[in-house]
Chains A and B, each alone.
Chain A
């Protein structure tokens, strides 16, 4: 793979570029699912190809191919240059890049158990054990479970002289119980909705979650929701579990801090951001206890956004995004850093495969844990609504107004759950919400969640991002408007 990367880099450089980089990627993945006592989707795939990114005539050109013959590589290099030249027909200024060092590194993400060493029948058997437990409750009408595993080796070579060989292992697991009854559908998921938990780990992730032991509770809650009261509408103190808070961070902090979005690159699709450049180091994003980092380093944890180098050869870094409530940083690339006069990219450029151009993507955007115990988060208010596990999510194209729905809620009186609530939802304006943050639980309750399905870019790319959070409480939040009459 290194030889292919260097051949492709040479092919681009020989055609006359001011900068070029190449990513050769080989992936292997496995998908396993079960449904109501049977195997569902059982499949595996392998893929290998390369993408050439060339800066010539002051414009970018990118061409990707799975034809890895000499002729195929030469054709891709020619096409990248042809595309760059075409860009001059609508160019305002030459692309400039913030400086970066050259690196020669090999890095493999640490795993305890190679997921591909586990036979697929063992994957299916575990999911069917969960399935049986879920369907012991006769109210469960649909039990679904899934696992996914990926090994991705990427060799990056650039005209700066970098040659970076990274291998990342990703694992994911989750299941859900759906209960249909009398024209109503309720669902509970574990350990999270929309595919469960995903991390930069091997098969050990699967063994960490006590999948079978939690199935009966998950099933019981799905069925019990039918008899639960509807979540009330009004302003309440709101407590969120860490998985829902992870998605709240993703949507209302992670996306607005993408500097390419701020500068207009995504205006036609994902939208722009309320975090205009004048807000940096001025905006009170949240209350004093809100501290958020964007951290791709392995020491942050095994997140979907953890790596050694990003996809333009910049080392993984940690950047303060919100410090004691103050907005202090964006996620940047070499191009956007240069555009706003910053000395260096903070290393967030990522592509979802060999065929796509790297974009600024969330790495691990995490809320630092607070200092309170979980009891203090719940006891600090005499009346609150507690919500768990995302069911729906939506936010406007500048990331002001959001609405989230959760699978389950409870009314909390004096720190105690007094009744289950179905169809809970809440909504608000991003900065008002984060400024209402009143309590954050401590590090023992902090979990680095994986969001495997973040879409951005044209053509769209799907990326995995990480979000660490502890349960937290927010004061006087609008609840229930999704079901308002």
Chain B
């Protein structure tokens, strides 16, 4: 159960109100009234291990006050990590001085009006109180399992607590506390490796030993990897691979990016771009999702259907983009001022009924991909992405895993990829390294283009 009614001690609501009262008093003293503050605090710790031992073990705590003022159609932002009276005065003065040097912007809207977002309970007292010894003990158990298998483990176990508050002089007071835990592990044998990663707001939802076991089995099963030629393959992407690859396109579901001509969705809204079996939402309220239910101006996030049975439908609008398009903001704006507008960050890809094992069993010849790495955009409109497979790449023959293969480089258009999906699993909360955590299924895809093979 989240929170038990307790409140984060990092940055209680009352402290936010006190700080903002000081901000508004300083603003009034300088002769203006329109002011917005983002107040954030965080405490995080991370236990890192490699070569079957803890080697980097860190903790940090910090707080920030970021003030934006608005004067006669002008705006600018100043930030400090000191919350004493003198620092608050200085940061308001700095924001004011920067603002007064700007030219007026006719498109700049008045500050947002209050519109309380639904609260989501994502702060867990027990996770906020995890100790260095708790993390080290879990890491030691995971290492032991890997070491007994004759392998070498590297990874992290982190726990954190963060509070985000946005207040403005029109009465907005959006407040969100959250805890987060992450465990990831790479297991290495002589010529192979495996990997597993997960994140959760409640650390008790993670099972480091089970994850270590799964990664270790992958390392074992991919020993003595064969070298296959590059080419078009049937490929099964596990959820982290789907997350990291498909996750590269959601910055384009932005009204500002489309207007700027830097989105692959320019001139494609309403088109059927992907397969019938692709439906994607942005939904911060989904049980597999995390983060605050409001945007950088405190506007509540709305649920969007970005792709509906292959058709590109909704895109995100910040307040300014919405005003220009004469529509409603969706609650996905970045803090102002910025040039990027907005983006959906809480992706939920609808899945299907096929389990990963059923995908493998139905594949005469194909490649199973655990994770992808160093994914970069090759072509911004065709949305061709390149990257590598990593830590568990397998040949499937006659419905069974036949063994490990050397890692491939891919060059693949996401438009093609999402038009070639033959099966989807139910979605899980997936965690990778190159895109935001999301709810993503495994996907079985045909004609996936591996263009080169590396040396391991």
Binds A, one of B43-51, B119-127, B359-367, B418-426: B43-51
With a cutoff of 8 Å between Cβ atoms, the chain B residues found around residue A67 in the complex are: 61
- Assess the B57–A481 pair: CB atoms within 8 A: no
- Assess the B102–A459 pair: CB atoms within 8 A: no
Judge whether A71 is part of the interface by a CB distance below 8 angstroms. no
Bound complex: CA A394 to CA B154 (Å): 23
- Assess the A183–B76 pair: CB atoms within 8 A: no
Could you tell me which residues of chain A, from 40 to 87, have a CB within 8 Å of some CB in chain B? 40-49, 51, 59-67, 79-80, 82-87
Binds A, one of B1-9, B322-330, B378-386, B397-405: B378-386
With a cutoff of 8 Å between Cβ atoms, the chain A residues found around residue B449 in the complex are: 484
With a cutoff of 8 Å between Cβ atoms, the chain A residues found around residue B376 in the complex are: 392-394
Judge whether B338 is part of the interface by a CB distance below 8 angstroms. yes
- Assess the A83–B53 pair: CB atoms within 8 A: no
- Assess the B59–A63 pair: CB atoms within 8 A: yes
Could you tell me which residues of chain A, from 122 to 178, have a CB within 8 Å of some CB in chain B? 124, 141-142, 144, 178
- Assess the B378–A427 pair: CB atoms within 8 A: no
- Assess the B102–A83 pair: CB atoms within 8 A: no
- Assess the B386–A482 pair: CB atoms within 8 A: yes
Given A86-B132, A119-B101, A144-B339, check contact A265 B56 (CB 8 Å): yes
Q: Which residue of A lies closest to B334 (CB)?
A: A41
Judge whether B241 is part of the interface by a CB distance below 8 angstroms. no
With a cutoff of 8 Å between Cβ atoms, the chain A residues found around residue B158 in the complex are: 458-459
Determine which of A46, A266, A393, A459 lies in contact with B58 in the assembled complex, contact meaning CB atoms within 8 Å: A459
With a cutoff of 8 Å between Cβ atoms, the chain A residues found around residue B354 in the complex are: none
Question: 0/1 per residue, A182-206, Cβ < 8 Å to B?
Answer: 0111000000000000000000000
Determine which of A48, A121, A459, A482 lies in contact with B82 in the assembled complex, contact meaning CB atoms within 8 Å: A48
Name the residue among B91, B158, B339 with the largest chain A CB count within 10 angstroms.
B339
- Assess the A396–B409 pair: CB atoms within 8 A: yes
Interface size classification for chain B: 35 or more
With a cutoff of 8 Å between Cβ atoms, the chain B residues found around residue A82 in the complex are: 131-133
CB distance from A184 to the nearest CB of B (A): 6
With a cutoff of 8 Å between Cβ atoms, the chain B residues found around residue A92 in the complex are: 51-53
Could you tell me which residues of chain A, from 87 to 139, have a CB within 8 Å of some CB in chain B? 87, 89-93, 119-121, 124
- Assess the B260–A401 pair: CB atoms within 8 A: no
Judge whether A374 is part of the interface by a CB distance below 8 angstroms. no
Determine which of A87, A267, A356, A394 lies in contact with B54 in the assembled complex, contact meaning CB atoms within 8 Å: A87
With a cutoff of 8 Å between Cβ atoms, the chain A residues found around residue B61 in the complex are: 64-67
With a cutoff of 8 Å between Cβ atoms, the chain B residues found around residue A43 in the complex are: 76-79, 98, 337
With a cutoff of 8 Å between Cβ atoms, the chain A residues found around residue B455 in the complex are: 274, 398, 400-401, 429
Name the residue among B51, B58, B337, B453 with the largest chain A CB count within 10 angstroms.
B58
Judge whether A280 is part of the interface by a CB distance below 8 angstroms. no
Bound complex: CA A120 to CA B338 (Å): 16
Given A49-B62, A89-B140, check contact A141 B260 (CB 8 Å): yes
- Assess the B452–A425 pair: CB atoms within 8 A: no
Judge whether A287 is part of the interface by a CB distance below 8 angstroms. no
Bound complex: CA A183 to CA B78 (Å): 39
CB distance from A405 to the nearest CB of B (A): 5
Could you tell me which residues of chain B, from 7 to 63, have a CB within 8 Å of some CB in chain A? 44-63
Given A89-B133, A89-B136, A183-B381, check contact A59 B411 (CB 8 Å): no
- Assess the A45–B79 pair: CB atoms within 8 A: yes
Q: Which residue of A lies closest to B77 (CB)?
A: A43
With a cutoff of 8 Å between Cβ atoms, the chain A residues found around residue B375 in the complex are: 394
Bound complex: CA A444 to CA B91 (Å): 45
Given A90-B136, A267-B188, check contact A400 B98 (CB 8 Å): no
With a cutoff of 8 Å between Cβ atoms, the chain B residues found around residue A484 in the complex are: 411, 449, 451
With a cutoff of 8 Å between Cβ atoms, the chain A residues found around residue B98 in the complex are: 42-44, 120
With a cutoff of 8 Å between Cβ atoms, the chain B residues found around residue A144 in the complex are: 339
With a cutoff of 8 Å between Cβ atoms, the chain B residues found around residue A33 in the complex are: 339
Question: 0/1 per residue, B306-344, Cβ < 8 Å to A?
Answer: 000000000000000000000000000000011100000
Given A66-B61, A264-B50, A459-B44, check contact A481 B55 (CB 8 Å): no
CB distance from B413 to the nearest CB of A (A): 10
With a cutoff of 8 Å between Cβ atoms, the chain A residues found around residue B52 in the complex are: 90, 92
